[in-house]
Structure 1
Amino acid sequence: MKLLSTTIKNNVLQSMERLLDENRMAILKANKQDLDQFDLEDQAMYDRLIVTNAKIDAMITSIKEVRSQEDPVGQTISSQKLENGLDITNKTAPFGTIMIIYESRPDVTIEAAVLAFKANNKIYLKGGKEALHSNKALTNLWHRALEENNLSTNYIQQLVLNRQETQQFLMNPPEKLDLIVPRGGERLIAFVKQHANCAVLVSGRGNNFLFIDEDANWEQSVQVILNAKTAKISACNALDKILISSNIEDYAHKLKDLYKLLSANGVETLVDSKVNEFLTEADPIEDPKIWKEEFLAMKCCLGAVDSLNGAIEKINHNSGGHSATIMTKNKENALQFMEEVDCAAVYQNASTRFTDGGQMGVGAELAISTDKLHHRGPLGLKQLVTNKYYIFGDGQIRA
């Protein structure tokens, strides 16, 4: 693939910033077409689908942030000269062609494309049918930005495919795909893994846990729980499961306090058998499989554990590998929790809502990876490159 200069790439991004600002009404009109066909009862989906002027401002800001970042391509990772005279340099290089499959969030059409393009990759955008008009309007603006700078629109392409057509595309793409990122639930991820013929980087599933240790600051814990659970239920970094140490001081009172507070904030709380002994009015958990579910709703599970090890074991058995928090003043407990919990992001005394590229200093993100190869956590600009070895010689042969 031809490498574009940093100047050309940044010029395209600058054009896109202007076009987004100049075409606000057209974007909002396209989004209204999508909203008019939408079931308003699904609040989480609605939150992801709606575009406002504030969201357009955020799109422009994300492009500016990426434009200001250092070009990730061609950066030297290591360099050495061997005794035989070979000069070996390992540099960052583009993946090539990336495909992202996502649902309902038109802002992904901006964030995914800006990152892929700045990292010198082509990208196929496969958004959900519920955001068809919004995504089309935004992709058309990308094409105008590319054309203004004398570049092919092939760098950023929108796919409008049904399930069967998507399956065929994954199995027989028109060009070699180097990476596919499915952002969605387990069914989508399983579908892509089943049919894709290239690397698949898993993203999107949350099911995040918070453990209240016996040494926790209770008032702080309650505030963190409310933020993580209620601030944005449509986000993959929202809280779904709460574990509490049965050894915490005033255990029964604190259980009742937490349950009442969650109920007062509109959260449906299901409880395990240990908690149900004290919260007899609460709905019990009927099927243990629910501990593995991501809710994307004003709903959570509350369970009790007897030890830190018990909390770690339960989280590792059930979580999606996204984010987990321990509320504790005990630094040794916090460190053990953070070292042994198998998640992309682990916290002490903070909300899981911070698992986000912008909040973690990465900037715009393609996704939150829960895989361990090739990267874990927010996929920002620096993570959308691979590497290549450059070996310079003078006739050396291997004996």
Structure 2
Amino acid sequence: MKLLETTIKNKVLESMISILDKDRDKILEANKKDCELFNKEDRAMYDRLVVDNKKIDGMIASVKEVLGQEDPVGKVKSERNLENGLNVTNKTAPFGTIMIIYESRPDVTIEAAVLAFKANNKILLKGGKEALHSNKALEKCWHQALEENDLDTNWIQLLHMNRTETQEFLRNPSEKLDLIVPRGGERLIAFVKEHAKCAVLVSGRGNNFLYVDKDADWEKSIKVILNAKTHKISACNALDKILVDAAVPNYEQKLKELDSILKEQGVSVLVDEKTGSILKEEEVIKDEAIWHEEFLAMKCCIGTVENLDEAIEKINKFSGGHSSTVMTKDSSKAMKFMEQVDSAAVYHNASTRFTDGGAMGVGAELAISTDKLHHRGPLGLEQLVTNKYFVFGDGQIRV
């Protein structure tokens, strides 16, 4: 795709803001069709699917936010004048064509596209069938905004393919793909990695841990645990696993208190053997594979560890590499935890729910990457570019 002037890109976004506001009723009606067809037993997926006026306000806010951000393309990263007279300049450049595959979440159709477009990338949107009507309505808004500014609608395309067709497209794409971002659960990620022929940036899997150190403030720990677990169970930054240090003062009493508070909030609890010797009513974990699992439900595991090192080892073995929290008043322990736990975001005395582009000051995000190349954490506008070397000479040859 050709490089667009910043003013043109911003005009498209201005048009999109107006169109989203004007077409609220059409978007809500389309989403109503999707919601009526959906099996509401999957609460997490249903929560992601629903669009209301507040959600549309959020879409508009995302576009406005990106509109106000500096164009990330063509920024000089480094510049060197070599002894041979060459000038070597490294600048940011678009990826080219990005494909994002996601489940439910019609708002991704707005957030992913606005970021990709402002960074001068073409984007292919492969949403789930459960959000088909919503995504088609939002794609129509994008196409109208592009056409109003004399741009081809193929900058932003919604792909209408079933699983088999998607598999074949990943193996033999009809056009060059530069990056694929699967945003969803483990099965989706594994499917994409198995079949894709280009770079895949993994995102979306949570399975986040929180460790309560023996020196933690217990009241703060309860507050943070409840927020991380119950605030939004459908989010990839929700809490699934809680590790409690056996040396916590009044350990047995506090375990029972934690269990009782979680159950009062409707959270079902699974426990390891040591914890189960105290919380005798809870189901004891038989298969350690459950420590790898992301729940996206009102469910969590509580385990007991002997010290900080054991907590770090367990988190690095089982977590999804997304977000991890340590609750402690000991700053040296906190720093050891944060340096040694292998997660995209590590927290000291705070909820994992903050791993989000907006909450972390990044702005609108394409996804939360748990990969280490090319970026880890929220994928905002600045992360949707690669780099390119511009080498200026005057007939130099290498000898």
Cα deviations by residue, 1:182-212 (Å, 9 ceiling, x for unpaired): 0111111111111111000000100000000
The residue type paired with residue 243 of structure 1 is L
CA distance in 2, matches of 1:7, 1:135: 27
Cα deviations by residue, 1:253-278 (Å, 9 ceiling, x for unpaired): 10000000000000001111001111
- Name the residue aligned to 1:358: 358
User: Are 1:252 and 2:287 matched, yes or no?
Assistant: no
- Name the residue aligned to 2:164: 164
Please give the residue correspondences for 1:36-115 in structure 2 after superposition, counting only pairs within 5 Å.
36-115=36-115
Q: Post-superposition shift, 1:244?
A: 0.3
Q: Secondary structure at the match of 2:180?
A: strand
CA distance in 2, matches of 1:10, 1:174: 29
- Name the residue aligned to 1:346: 346
- Name the residue aligned to 1:261: 261
What's the Cα RMSD here?
Answer: 0.5
- Name the residue aligned to 2:332: 332
The residue type paired with residue 102 of structure 1 is Y
CA distance in 1, matches of 2:309, 2:258: 23
Q: Identity rate of aligned residues, in percent?
A: 71
Q: Post-superposition shift, 1:335?
A: 0.3
CA distance in 1, matches of 2:21, 2:250: 55
The residue type paired with residue 199 of structure 1 is A
Please give the residue correspondences for 1:128-277 in structure 2 after superposition, counting only pairs within 5 Å.
128-277=128-277
CA distance in 2, matches of 1:287, 1:40: 29
The residue type paired with residue 75 of structure 1 is K
- Name the residue aligned to 2:390: 390
Cα deviations by residue, 1:295-336 (Å, 9 ceiling, x for unpaired): 000000000000100000000000000000000010010000
The number of residues matched between the two structures is 399
CA distance in 2, matches of 1:371, 1:258: 33
Q: Secondary structure at the match of 1:312?
A: helix
CA distance in 2, matches of 1:276, 1:102: 37
- Name the residue aligned to 1:380: 380
CA distance in 1, matches of 2:41, 2:279: 30
The residue type paired with residue 109 of structure 2 is T
Gaps of 5+ in 2: none
CA distance in 2, matches of 1:190, 1:234: 20
The residue type paired with residue 212 of structure 1 is V
CA distance in 2, matches of 1:137, 1:245: 50
CA distance in 2, matches of 1:2, 1:390: 17
CA distance in 2, matches of 1:282, 1:185: 27
Q: Secondary structure at the match of 2:214?
A: coil
Gaps of 5+ in 1: none
Q: Post-superposition shift, 1:353?
A: 0.2
Moved more, 187-196 or 328-337: 187-196
CA distance in 2, matches of 1:40, 1:126: 22
CA distance in 1, matches of 2:296, 2:381: 27
CA distance in 2, matches of 1:55, 1:110: 11
CA distance in 2, matches of 1:40, 1:184: 18
Moved more, 187-196 or 366-375: 187-196
CA distance in 2, matches of 1:313, 1:226: 24
Q: Post-superposition shift, 1:165?
A: 0.2
Q: Secondary structure at the match of 2:386?
A: strand
Q: Post-superposition shift, 1:235?
A: 0.2
- Name the residue aligned to 2:295: 295
Q: Secondary structure at the match of 1:144?
A: helix
Q: Post-superposition shift, 1:283?
A: 1.5
The residue type paired with residue 86 of structure 1 is L
Moved more, 320-329 or 39-48: 39-48
Moved more, 133-142 or 167-176: 167-176
CA distance in 1, matches of 2:362, 2:146: 25
The residue type paired with residue 137 of structure 1 is A
The residue type paired with residue 300 of structure 1 is C
Cα deviations by residue, 1:213-232 (Å, 9 ceiling, x for unpaired): 00100000000000000000
CA distance in 2, matches of 1:184, 1:47: 14
CA distance in 1, matches of 2:323, 2:183: 16
- Name the residue aligned to 1:280: 280
Q: Secondary structure at the match of 2:347?
A: strand
CA distance in 2, matches of 1:206, 1:216: 24
TM-score by length of 2: 0.99
Which 4+ stretches in 1 moved above 2 angstroms? none
CA distance in 2, matches of 1:167, 1:384: 24
CA distance in 1, matches of 2:357, 2:241: 23
